[in-house]
């Protein structure tokens, strides 16, 4: 099952990349949304291999997933891998500089089931795929608006 979103933001690609790599802020945002995220490595958070463990709920069922930073190419791409009980997947964030002050961000996420239980879970998600895709796009847009506002505020100082 795949989700994707594409947005344009009035922030230079390099600055947007740095804001997206602020993993401590992302961890705090996840905690505010009720996701328990714990860092499981000793790196500084911007190296391939940085890892987290998260307790999430999918269709009301608790699920513990391990997340690993697989690829970090400044200022173009961030790639995360995810494994859970019977599931694996990933998230890729690609940045394309359109103009000096404008960047197109493309986020794609994928879930792949490997067990019957996981297949049933993903199948149940497919019934609401359109709704979930809209929510995914809305969350990405909302997050980017916050980053754009934060960038604009930092430029006003």
Kindly report, residue by residue over 96-108, the tens digit of the pLDDT.
999 989 999 999 9
Query: Which H or E run includes 143?
Result: helix 129-156
Q: Are 86 and 113 in contact (CB under 8 A)?
A: yes
Q: How far is CA 121 from CA 6, 15, 33, 128, 130, in A?
A: 26, 38, 22, 12, 16
Q: What pLDDT does 45 receive? A: 66
Tens digit of pLDDT for each residue in 40-79?
987 766 788 899 999 988 878 888 999 999 999 999 999 9
Joined together, the tokens standing for residue 51 give 């890892």
Maximum distance among all Cα pairs of the chain, rounded to whole angstroms: 54
């Amino acid at each position: 099952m795949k989700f994707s979103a594409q947005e344009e933001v009035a922030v230079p690609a390099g600055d947007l990349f740095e804001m997206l790599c602020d993993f401590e802020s992302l961890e705090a945002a996840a905690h505010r949304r009720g996701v328990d995220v714990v860092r499981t490595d000793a790196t500084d958070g911007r190296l391939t291999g940085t890892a987290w463990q998260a307790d999430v709920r999918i269709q009301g069922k608790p699920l513990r997933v391990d997340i690993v930073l697989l690829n970090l190419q400044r200022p173009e791409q961030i790639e995360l891998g995810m494994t859970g009980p019977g599931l694996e997947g990933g998230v890729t964030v690609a940045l394309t500089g359109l103009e000096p002050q404008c960047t197109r961000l493309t986020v794609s996420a994928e879930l792949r089931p490997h067990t019957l239980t996981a297949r049933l879970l993903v199948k149940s998600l497919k019934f609401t795929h359109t709704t979930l895709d809209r929510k995914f796009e809305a969350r990405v847009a909302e997050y980017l608006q916050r980053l754009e506002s934060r960038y604009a505020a930092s430029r006003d100082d």
